[in-house]
Structure 1
Amino acid sequence: MQDQRQVARTIFAHALTAVEPAQLIKRVIGIDGYTLHCVNEIVDLQAFNNIYVIGAGKASVPMAAAMEEIIDAKISKGAITTKYGHATPLQCIVTTEAGHPVPDENGLKGTETIKSILESATENDLVIMLLSGGGSALLADIPLGCTLSDIQQCNELLLQSGADIVEINTVRKHLSNVKGGQLARIAYPAKVVTLILSDVLGDPLNVIASGPTVPDPTTFADAWKVLEKYNLLNKIPDSVLAYLTEGKTGTHQETPKPGDRIFERVSNYIIGSNRLALAFAREKAEELGYIVEIYSNQLQGEAREVAKMIISQAKEVYKDITKPKPYCILAGGETTVTIRGNGLGGRNQELALAAAIELEHQAGITLLSAGTDGTDGPTDATGALADSATLFEAIELGIDGNVYLKNNDSYHFFQQVGGHLITGPTQTNVMDLIVVLIHA
């Protein structure tokens, strides 16, 4: 069992190398004198008076470090906001560490710094924006009539509701003056190039980091429907409810929509995603002699239910004794957890705990579920591993896995039983990876 756990860790670690932010930047950005090669664009830097580098997200600092290395002294000014514990020294770009997944005062300050740069930009300036997962919380501002505490409470309610990231960000975009294309509005008429590390299923540009430089197809009415769907209208602060009500009636300006002229000089490029990480995971698993199946690259749903489906599939494979080699099932995406208990954990640990329960008395199957960003929920673990030994160890310790699962307390379960995967901040973020190894 222990060998399988180490193999699963090795496959996961190899997948992370595919989405290392600095290397992703260097793959798509190059410079020849004053000619910048950016994805499929050729940009004459001499045509601009200033080059500004801004960004937000868990991976934004290493992305910015790579930009400094490539462009060097040509950067006029820059500002990045990242999660606490994710900053490293930069040469000329100001870094602010702030709260995630719930915004805080530092997020407000960092966002104001970014806004001030964009407000000074003209049509003769180039803005390079670096975005990754976490940007929605880190690009923090307060709508008229609300307080930071109001926005924090609304974020916490959304995160605990079971809403998916598309729904959560629909609300976030309409409680902000920077999300949902609104940073592009502030930067207009400057030339804007946004480089994006995707942490959202299907890589929708308008959802990743709440799409600050992307046209937003959603409306105040859509945000209202999300809150209504999850029975939050009577729970959110009155000031937030009033702001959204006014937005629905046209009192507040809508987010900019497709076709708006502010996007004429804006380019948005996805440079890294979960698909790329899965491809590298597959490469390593095959190198280690496994037959590999990609279960899904758009995994979603309640973590404990997803665990049941994946383990069911693994058990079917296990029954097939004709397999000439060990088997590996890979999946990528992002599940959700509806909080009903008062425990501690995250979606990956909850998925692994649910898998452990399904694997009781089932030898030959090992599951790893982990976030590529190094953090699973409000914990220091990025995920956990489970196999038939997990429940055995729990029983030996007098621990009932079902009780911990019911209380959403996966962190304390694995803390006692063993199986946590702790990497520290990885400086990247492309959702989650699940590795299932099967030895018949």
Structure 2
Amino acid sequence: MTQAEQAIKLWQAGVAAVDGYTATQSALSDVPKPDRILAVGKPAAAMARAALDHFGIVPTLVVTKDDHGRNLPDGVEVIEASHPVPDGRSLAGGRALRLAAEAMQPGSHLLLLVSGGASSLAEDLLPGNSLEDLEALNRSLLSEGLDITAMNAKRRAMSRVKGGGLLSHFTGKKVTVLAISDVPGDNLHVIGSGIGALPDTYTFEATTRIIASNAHARAAATNAAQVAGFTVHADEEALHDDYLAVSAYLGSRLRQMDPGVMVFGGEPTVVLPDNPGRGGRNQALALALGREISGVSGITVVVGGTDGTDGPTNAAGGIVDSSTWAEGAETALENADSGSYLDNVDALLVTGPTGTNVMDLVVAIRR
């Protein structure tokens, strides 16, 4: 096994530990059978499938990303929508979720399965706002380099379902919310812009639980590294900054790294130019790290979004070493075209949808 293959294997061990199906299945042992299941987010299909395998037939609505609503039983209503910029289907998904919550009978139990990506995938706008307003807001937010908390605060301002709005329409007796966290601090009011958060005032019974997070993924990756005989030098949530600041910080750590493994998690930000090229924050961070370790032998770094997609691309991130940074890399980084460069040097990390979403994961190995 090459060092790159070993690094990818450790990265995949972290992602597998927070798989939406596994995490949901493990959390259902003390949950009574619901009368309705609503699932929203990138891993929504995997979460819903686990619930249906556990409970049997339950009316279910899944709102998820394009090509993510697979392998569900017949009869499940699936709405696929756009991410990271919402579209008309996102409005259909948000409205369908609200109407389902409103239609619950007195005495009924709702199981709400929430995960990252819901901010774009499901929206029901307050009067006076249009789809064009929503699209413009999201494009602006994606280019400004804001962290997820700041982005979601702006999204909630025009929404009927974010920030506790969805459950303010619930008319039944009990709600169980199971969430996979893709935000720092694992705050239910921030995950999916608070689409699974409890409203400020409510009269129903409520149970909320975070069932998978970045910390769980990092722990699994570090455990896999130790089992494989590596010394683990770091297990940190250290990616919450502009990607260039993150790459400078990690680069210094990597250049001084003893033989072994480092694992980092979080979600860097990127300020985009007016006409960005191809890629996402993980591909940008991977290429920037390639610059940091250029010429430093023995280091391989895997950078990837745990959901398997990075920005509006089909790659999860990149795999870099001492030889990745070469002619054309600087221009690609400046033009937000890291994906094209990494593709040209066969350094993209492509996994397909993973069935989870717990921010990003970096695994570094040094011989």
Q: TM-score, normalised by structure 2?
A: 0.95
Indicate whether 1:328 and 2:261 are aligned: yes
Contact 2:230 2:260 in 1 (8 A): yes
State the shift of 1:400 in Å. Answer: 2.4
Task: Give the whole-Å Cα distance in 1 for the aligned partners of 2:173 and 2:214.
Answer: 31
Indicate whether 1:126 and 2:67 are aligned: no
Indicate whether 1:360 and 2:301 are aligned: no
User: 2:17 — aligned with what?
Assistant: 18
Contact 2:222 2:235 in 1 (8 A): no
Contact 1:352 1:369 in 2 (8 A): yes
Q: Kindly indicate which of the two structures has a greater share of residues assigned to helix.
A: 1
User: 1:302 — aligned with what?
Assistant: 242
Task: Give the whole-Å Cα distance in 2 for the aligned partners of 1:190 and 1:212.
Answer: 19
Task: Give the whole-Å Cα distance in 2 for the aligned partners of 1:90 and 1:294.
Answer: 42
Contact 1:139 1:179 in 2 (8 A): no
User: 1:261 — aligned with what?
Assistant: 202
Higher radius of gyration, 1 or 2: 1
Aligned positions of 1:93-108 closer than 5 A? 93-108=76-91
Contact 2:123 2:160 in 1 (8 A): no
The residue type paired with residue 188 of structure 2 is L
User: 1:287 — aligned with what?
Assistant: 227
**Which deviates the most, 405-414 or 86-95?**
86-95
Aligned positions of 1:334-353 closer than 5 A? 334-340=267-273, 342-353=276-287
Aligned positions of 1:221-240 closer than 5 A? none
Indicate whether 1:413 and 2:341 are aligned: yes
Q: TM-score, normalised by structure 1?
A: 0.80
State the shift of 1:102 in Å. Answer: 1.3
Q: Which secondary structure does the structure 1 equivalent of 2:217 belong to?
A: helix
State the shift of 1:295 in Å. Answer: 4.5
Question: Cα RMSD over matched residues?
Answer: 1.6
- CA deviations 1:74-98 (Å, max 9, x no partner) are x2x2211000010113233211111
Aligned positions of 1:10-409 closer than 5 A? 10-30=9-29, 37-38=30-31, 43=32, 51-73=35-57, 75=58, 77-88=59-70, 89-215=72-198, 256-257=199-200, 260-262=201-203, 264-318=204-258, 326-340=259-273, 342-391=276-325, 394=326, 399-409=327-337
Task: Give the whole-Å Cα distance in 1 for the aligned partners of 2:69 and 2:202.
Answer: 35
State the shift of 1:173 in Å. Answer: 1.0
Q: Which secondary structure does the structure 2 equivalent of 1:91 belong to?
A: coil
- CA deviations 1:214-236 (Å, max 9, x no partner) are 24xxxxxxxxxxxxxxxxxxxxx
4+ runs deviating over 4 angstroms = none
Contact 2:83 2:312 in 1 (8 A): no
- CA deviations 1:385-408 (Å, max 9, x no partner) are 1111112xx3xxxx3211111111
**Which deviates the most, 350-359 or 88-97?**
88-97
Task: Give the whole-Å Cα distance in 2 for the aligned partners of 1:212 and 1:298.
Answer: 26
The residue type paired with residue 243 of structure 2 is A
Contact 2:114 2:196 in 1 (8 A): no
Task: Give the whole-Å Cα distance in 2 for the aligned partners of 1:92 and 1:125.
Answer: 20
State the shift of 1:189 in Å. Answer: 4.5
State the shift of 1:193 in Å. Answer: 0.6
Q: Which secondary structure does the structure 2 equivalent of 1:79 belong to?
A: strand
Q: Which secondary structure does the structure 2 equivalent of 1:261 belong to?
A: coil
Task: Give the whole-Å Cα distance in 1 for the aligned partners of 2:73 and 2:358.
Answer: 23
User: Taking every aligned residue pair, what percent have the same amino acid on both sides?
Assistant: 34
Task: Give the whole-Å Cα distance in 1 for the aligned partners of 2:322 and 2:41.
Answer: 37
Structure 1 gaps of 5+ residues are 31-36, 216-255, 319-325
Contact 1:179 1:211 in 2 (8 A): yes
State the shift of 1:314 in Å. Answer: 1.5
State the shift of 1:118 in Å. Answer: 1.1
Structure 2 gaps of 5+ residues are none
Q: Which secondary structure does the structure 2 equivalent of 1:146 belong to?
A: coil
Contact 2:293 2:299 in 1 (8 A): yes
The residue type paired with residue 329 of structure 2 is G
The residue type paired with residue 73 of structure 2 is L
- CA deviations 1:285-322 (Å, max 9, x no partner) are 1122111023422520011221121121111224xxxx
**Which deviates the most, 264-273 or 429-438?**
264-273
Change (3 A) 1:378 1:388: same
Task: Give the whole-Å Cα distance in 1 for the aligned partners of 2:257 and 2:44.
Answer: 40
- CA deviations 1:354-386 (Å, max 9, x no partner) are 111111221111111001100011111100011
Task: Give the whole-Å Cα distance in 2 for the aligned partners of 1:162 and 1:277.
Answer: 25
The residue type paired with residue 357 of structure 1 is R
Task: Give the whole-Å Cα distance in 2 for the aligned partners of 1:53 and 1:91.
Answer: 15
Contact 1:201 1:298 in 2 (8 A): no
Task: Give the whole-Å Cα distance in 2 for the aligned partners of 1:213 and 1:133.
Answer: 11
Count of residues paired in the alignment: 365
Contact 1:131 1:197 in 2 (8 A): yes
Pairing partner for 1:423 from 333, 345, 351: 351
